[in-house]
């Protein structure tokens, strides 16, 4: 029997026992021997009522958290309440609210049942016949009469000495105190766990904002170091990262993975570009590599070292294309470092091993999310089909990347399925030549630097518009269907206006209820409806609002991350 069912028995038995004790007092108040234990009987009644009151409050909280209305709970009779307490969802809500204290809480309820059973067995006339006097038998043998009261046909006998009555009162008081302490302790622990989770979410939101500032600095540094003499236009493919390491690590390094080259070269069969990783330097690290940082004279010993063990010399990069060519001619890898102030430095190192982005089987062909979705699930080759976890991981990456790149030139184009790209992979030797292999685990954005442009492109879409686009992309990934195809099938005419896209997205969201995982559906709904906490100083959602960014992390990114890590329902 679960703890909640035991609580239902206790709540049903206590009113019968209180009525029986009242009946006993009425019939024995003139007895000389009763006068010596009348106060103990009153104490026992109070102890029983206190236990009932405490359990009713606990169960009311659990039922409210389970989604019941307060009016419905108050109007329930004992039989309905007992049936309700047998439900697993109610037990789960109480278990969640008590946390680690739920096990001791159930054990204490068992002690309460044992104490009440002992009292029932000592009250002759409550349960007719030679039954054991259990609470179930008590409830079965006694029911409310037409006038709403308990009536006892047999004379109630309660033969206990004063010290025995005192022990029963103490037992009830002790178990009630333990239940109270466990409830308070469980609530306090849960409160601190919630605060801890809120701190983790807040730190993650701050970390993503740091990434966003570094992404802005990186764009500016690259645009200043792409000289017009080599190519008219440079193309960068920036990989999108989920940054999930920052959830529980105190210190996480920031880096950006990208590929740089001219559009003509990147489209050719021989890719002369190079995959780069730009590491962001902390202030103190960068100062140690800058000669001006050492202001005090120090005695240095220059000991001879083998040439292969020396650290490569790091120099400021002024022309990215030239530095890439020099590294390529020397069969080296260009390693880049970005300072807090926008200085881009680099050094030539030995080629690093592949970072697991399928570089050995990657073709030069790009596939956008739109092209991916246009392949209907029924006509799609088996190699192109997504597993649910692949779709959830991609959604998590995109949601996290939005906070990393929002209000930066990297998102000069609206965040839609046309701007999210993947690599097309070579099929295995035994596969069909027409097989459609796509690396969906490493999406990236394509951005072109026009060296003739005088200024960086500015992104004018509002935070509300960007979140609407993200919500639409989440629905597209969840259903494996394009937004336009759904809208056309349901009579919606789409244009670039916010209102047109919002109306169709809201209708698709309502139509998706029950078809998607609850937490995934809620995340998409939050983005489309833009229901996030904001500070009063911001009249509309703004990326500069720290509360707004934290709310997105709490209500969108965290649920998606929980799905990917297998902790979501």
CA distances from 19 to 25, 26, 126, 144, 198 (A): 10, 11, 11, 11, 48
Instruction: Look at 90-104, 272-286, 288-302, 434-448 and tell me which has the smallest mean pLDDT.
Output: 288-302
Q: What is the DSSP string of 359-406?
A: GGGEEEEEEEHHHHHHS-TTTS-GGGPPPHHHHHHHHHHHHHHHHHHT
Residue 523 has pLDDT above 80, yes or no: yes
Q: What is the mean pLDDT of the segment spanning 325-347?
A: 85
Residue 119 pLDDT:
84
Residue 531 pLDDT:
93
Residue 290 has pLDDT above 50, yes or no: no
DSSP-H helix ranges across 406-511: 463-479, 483-489, 498-511
Share of the chain above pLDDT 90, in %: 24
Residue 401 pLDDT:
95
Q: What is the mean pLDDT of the segment spanning 178-183?
A: 80
Residue 435 pLDDT:
55
Residue 148 has pLDDT above 50, yes or no: yes
Residue 199 pLDDT:
84
Instruction: Look at 64-73, 174-183, 330-339 and tell me which has the smallest mean pLDDT.
Output: 64-73
d(CA 494, CA 504): 8
Measured in residues, the chain has a length of: 569
Predicted confidence band of residue 129 (pLDDT cuts 50, 70, 90): low
- Element spanning 445, H or E: strand 437-450
Q: What is the mean pLDDT of the segment spanning 168-185?
A: 83
User: Beta-carbon neighbour count of residue 538 at 10 Å?
Assistant: 14
Residue 383 has pLDDT above 60, yes or no: no
Q: Pick 547 or 459 by higher pLDDT.
A: 547
How deeply is 332 buried, as exposed, middle or buried, from its count of CB atoms within 10 A (0-12, 13-18, 19+)? middle
Two structure tokens written together for 345 = 């430095």
pLDDT tens digits along 227-249: 666 667 788 899 999 998 888 78
Residue 456 has pLDDT above 90, yes or no: no
Residue 359 pLDDT:
56
Residue 459 pLDDT:
53
Residue 193 pLDDT:
66
Residue 485 pLDDT:
92
Residue 466 pLDDT:
93
Q: Pick 173 or 133 by higher pLDDT.
A: 173
Q: What is the mean pLDDT of the segment spanning 103-117?
A: 84
How deeply is 62 buried, as exposed, middle or buried, from its count of CB atoms within 10 A (0-12, 13-18, 19+)? buried
CA distances from 91 to 6, 176, 265, 368, 501 (A): 11, 20, 63, 47, 42
Residue 200 pLDDT:
86
Predicted confidence band of residue 555 (pLDDT cuts 50, 70, 90): very high
Q: SS3 for 518-564, per residue? A: HHHHHHHHHHHHCCCCCCCCCCCCCCCCHHHHHHHHHHHHHHHHHHH
- Candidates 305, 345, 320; CA nearest to 260 is 320
Residue 486 pLDDT:
93
Residue 269 pLDDT:
43
Mean pLDDT for the chain overall: 78
Beta bridge partners of 276: 258
Sheet with 333-338: strands ordered across: 315-316, 344-349, 333-338, 274-280, 255-261, 233-239, 437-450, 421-425, 362-368
Predicted confidence band of residue 7 (pLDDT cuts 50, 70, 90): confident
Task: Give this prediction's pTM.
Answer: 0.66
Residue 484 pLDDT:
92
Predicted confidence band of residue 432 (pLDDT cuts 50, 70, 90): low
Predicted confidence band of residue 464 (pLDDT cuts 50, 70, 90): very high
Q: Pick 52 or 507 by higher pLDDT.
A: 507
Residue 195 pLDDT:
62
């Amino acid at each position: 029997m679960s703890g909640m069912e035991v609580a239902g028995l206790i709540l049903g038995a206590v009113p019968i026992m209180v009525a029986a004790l009242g009946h006993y007092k009425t019939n024995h108040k003139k007895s000389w021997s009763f006068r010596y234990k009348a106060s103990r009987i009153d104490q026992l009644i109070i102890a029983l009522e206190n236990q009932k009151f405490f359990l009713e409050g606990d169960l009311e909280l659990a039922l409210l958290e389970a989604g019941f209305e307060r009016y419905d709970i108050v109007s329930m009779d004992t039989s309905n309440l007992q049936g309700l307490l047998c439900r697993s969802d109610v037990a789960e809500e109480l278990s969640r609210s008590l946390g680690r204290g739920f096990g001791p809480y159930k054990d204490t309820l068992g002690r309460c049942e044992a104490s009440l059973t002992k009292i029932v067995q000592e009250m002759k006339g409550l349960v007719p016949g030679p039954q054991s006097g259990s609470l179930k038998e008590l409830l079965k043998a006694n029911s409310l009469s037409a006038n709403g009261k308990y009536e006892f046909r047999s004379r109630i006998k309660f033969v206990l000495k004063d010290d025995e009555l005192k022990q029963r009162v103490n037992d009830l008081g002790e178990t009630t105190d333990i239940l109270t302490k466990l409830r308070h302790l469980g609530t306090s622990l849960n409160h601190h766990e919630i605060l801890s989770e809120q701190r983790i979410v807040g730190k993650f939101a701050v970390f993503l904002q740091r990434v966003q500032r570094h992404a802005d600095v990186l764009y500016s540094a690259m645009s200043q170091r792409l000289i017009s003499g080599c190519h008219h236009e440079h193309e960068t493919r920036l990989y999108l990262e989920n940054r999930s390491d920052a959830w529980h690590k105190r210190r996480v390094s920031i880096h950006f993975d990208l590929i740089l080259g001219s559009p003509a070269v990147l489209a050719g069969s021989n890719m002369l570009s190079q995959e780069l990783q730009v590491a962001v330097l902390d202030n103190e690290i960068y100062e140690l590599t800058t000669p001006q940082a050492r202001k005090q004279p120090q005695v240095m010993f220059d000991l001879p070292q083998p040439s292969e063990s020396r650290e490569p010399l790091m120099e400021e990069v002024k022309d990215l294309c030239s530095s890439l060519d020099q590294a390529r001619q020397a069969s080296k890898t260009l390693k880049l470092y970005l300072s807090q102030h926008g200085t881009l430095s680099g050094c030539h190192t030995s080629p690093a091993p592949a970072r697991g982005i399928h570089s050995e089987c990657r073709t030069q062909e790009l596939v956008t999310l739109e092209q991916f979705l246009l392949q209907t699930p029924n006509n799609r080759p088996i190699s192109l089909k997504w597993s649910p976890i692949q779709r959830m991981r991609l959604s998590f990456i995109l949601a996290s990347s939005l906070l990393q790149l929002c209000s930066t030139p990297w998102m000069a184009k609206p965040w839609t399925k046309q701007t999210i790209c993947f690599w097309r992979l070579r099929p295995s030797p035994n596969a069909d030549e027409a097989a459609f292999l796509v690396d969906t685990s490493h999406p990236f954005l394509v951005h072109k630097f026009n060296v003739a442009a005088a200024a960086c492109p500015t992104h004018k879409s509002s935070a509300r518009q960007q979140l609407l686009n993200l919500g639409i992309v989440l629905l597209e990934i969840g259903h494996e269907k394009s937004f336009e195809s759904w809208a056309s099938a349901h009579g919606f005419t789409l244009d670039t206006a916010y209102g047109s896209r919002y109306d169709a997205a809201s209708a698709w969201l309502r139509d998706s209820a029950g078809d998607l995982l609850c937490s995934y559906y809620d995340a998409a709904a939050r983005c489309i409806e833009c229901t996030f906490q904001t500070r009063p100083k911001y009249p509309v959602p703004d990326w500069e609002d720290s509360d707004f960014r934290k709310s997105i992390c709490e209500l969108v990114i965290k649920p998606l991350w929980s799905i990917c890590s297998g902790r979501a329902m």
